[in-house]
Structures are given as C-alpha cells and as structure tokens.
C-alpha cells in the first residue's frame, strides 16, 4: 500500500507462457485482509474468474479467493498467479506456503514454470446427477462423480468435450456448484471444460482446482500417475499433472499482464482482524 486509500494490484495469466492465454487472475498482496464486502466489491469490479487476496502469516501467507459474486473455498490458478507475483515482483525464493480453507497449498518455482501442490480429492461416484442437469446428459454413457464443490461427467471423447454446449441457465440452478465435462484426449491424456454460472463464472478458461479430482480419476482409468491435461476453453491451457500419495502436483507457467493502482473510497474499511 502506498497510502491508506491506494492498493497495488497485479493481473497474471496462469497456465500460460504468454499474455492473453491461460486463466487471468488478479492478485492483491496486503498487510491485512480488507473487509469481506470490500474484497467482494473489488472482485466484482475486476470481473475475472478469481481475484486473490494474500496477507503474511508465519512463514507463509493466508490466501482467499473471490469470484465476481462469491468467496470460494478452493482455487488453483489464482494461487499459482499469487506465487508468481511474489517471486517475480517481490523476490520471494523457494517453496511458498499458502494457508487456505482447503488446508496448505504449496508452490515451488522451477527453472521453467511453477509446481502447484494441492490436496487429492478422490471422486465420489454418482448414479445420476441432480435433476437440474441430468437431462443434459441423458444419452451419455460415461461416469458421473463429484467432490465437495463440483460435479463431473465423463463424455465419449475429446470432440464431445470441445463441442459441448452448456445450458448455463440449468447449470446455474446448482448454485455455486460447478460442472466439469471431461474425456480421454487425442494428444493429451485427458481434456476438460468447466462451467460455474452460479458462482459468476460462465466458463473458466483453465482451472487448477478441478484437477484435484480429475487427476485421481484419470490416473485410475489410464493406469498412470503422470499425465498431460488440456482444458479446452477458448483461451485454453495445458497442465502437467502427477498423482503423488494424497497430493496432486500440477506444473504450469504464468505470465504477468498488468500492474495497476486501485483507488478506494475514503470511507472504505481497509482492514479487519485476521480470521482464525
């Protein structure tokens, strides 16, 4: 912060080696978190899939993420973007630890990118999807499964994933729960797309967190622990994934797009006590 009403904000494209690729995330590094309402207002103003807010905590950082409409429990690409800004703009070296609602997330800078270490969330298999979206897949033979925040549907092949036309109105009836479609890939081991209109995200370009469940699902199906994944959105992004015990390791690149100043109203509540 340069003064009480001015914040520095960065925007970086995660899972991309160039600007305008991968998934953009805004990052604000703070002495203390802002009020919840103010952080939500900044995220709504940015209108990106996620805006990340980090504050120092012991040997790491507390990290929170907001979509344009809600705070979320888990976000991979904005964690990667935060680590990139800490490394590239603040000369932070070595593995970084982030304390979040889903536990510790770690990011290790590599010679050519970053390795994101997240929990493995084993798929919970379903006989059918909630009524709101089951009709979208009545002819699909693939497996249906979920984790605590998303539903997943296996489609026939990569072409089916790429050509899938989401009914965002129906998917929004799931509330903040997202929907992932996935299939075995042609060039990569598997592909996916992700929709969460109920959380203010029509289609997320590249999503680290969904791979916490995609990786164990495809590791079991393909009989391998190291895989290449591609998220087939319009921007697209490739992730190198590894299932290692109870963790999922994802390697990708990040490119800084922007450094900006945020001007807050003089009445803004810029700090609140750190949450336990």
- Catalytically active residues, by annotation: 50
Query: How crowded is residue 273: how many other Cβ atoms within 10 Å of its Cβ?
Result: 7
Query: How crowded is residue 5: how many other Cβ atoms within 10 Å of its Cβ?
Result: 14
How far lies 179's CA from each of 45, 107, 152, 176, 226, in Å? 25, 26, 6, 10, 24
Pairing of strands 237-244, 247-252: antiparallel
Distance (Å, rounded) from C-alpha 215 to C-alpha 77?
16
Q: Is 185 left (phi over 0), alpha (psi -120 to 50) or beta?
A: beta
Degrees, nearest 5: CA angle 116-95-87? 90
Q: By the 8 A CB rule, do 203 and 197 touch?
A: no
Distance (Å, rounded) from C-alpha 243 to C-alpha 27?
28
């Amino acid at each position: 912060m340069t003064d009480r009403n001015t914040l520095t904000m960065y925007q970086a494209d995660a899972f991309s080696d160039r600007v305008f690729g991968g998934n953009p995330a805004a990052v604000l590094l703070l002495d203390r978190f802002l009020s919840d309402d103010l952080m939500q207002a900044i995220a709504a103003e940015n209108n990106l899939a996620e805006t990340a807010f980090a504050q120092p905590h012991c040997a790491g950082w507390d990290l929170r993420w907001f979509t344009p409409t809600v705070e979320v429990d888990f976000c991979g690409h904005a964690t990667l973007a935060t680590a990139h800004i800490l490394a590239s703009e603040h000369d932070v070296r070595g593995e970084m630890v982030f304390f979040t609602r889903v536990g510790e997330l770690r990011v290790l800078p590599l010679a050519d990118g970053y390795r994101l270490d997240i929990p493995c969330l084993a798929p919970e298999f379903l006989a059918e999807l909630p009524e709101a979206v089951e009709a979208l897949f009545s002819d699909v033979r693939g497996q249906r499964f979920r984790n605590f925040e998303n539903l997943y549907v296996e489609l026939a092949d990569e072409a089916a994933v790429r050509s899938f036309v989401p009914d965002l109105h129906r998917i929004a009836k799931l509330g903040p729960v997202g929907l992932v479609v996935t299939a075995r890939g042609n060039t990569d081991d598997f592909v996916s797309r992700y929709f969460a209109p109920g959380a203010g995200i029509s289609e997320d370009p590249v999503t680290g967190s969904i791979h916490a469940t995609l990786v164990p699902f495809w590791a079991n199906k393909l009989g391998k622990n190291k895989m290449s994944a591609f998220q087939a959105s319009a921007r697209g992004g490739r992730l190198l994934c590894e299932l290692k015990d109870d963790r999922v390791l994802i390697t990708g690149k990040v490119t800084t797009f922007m450094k900006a100043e945020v001007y807050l109203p003089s009445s803004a509540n810029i700090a609140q006590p750190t949450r336990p």
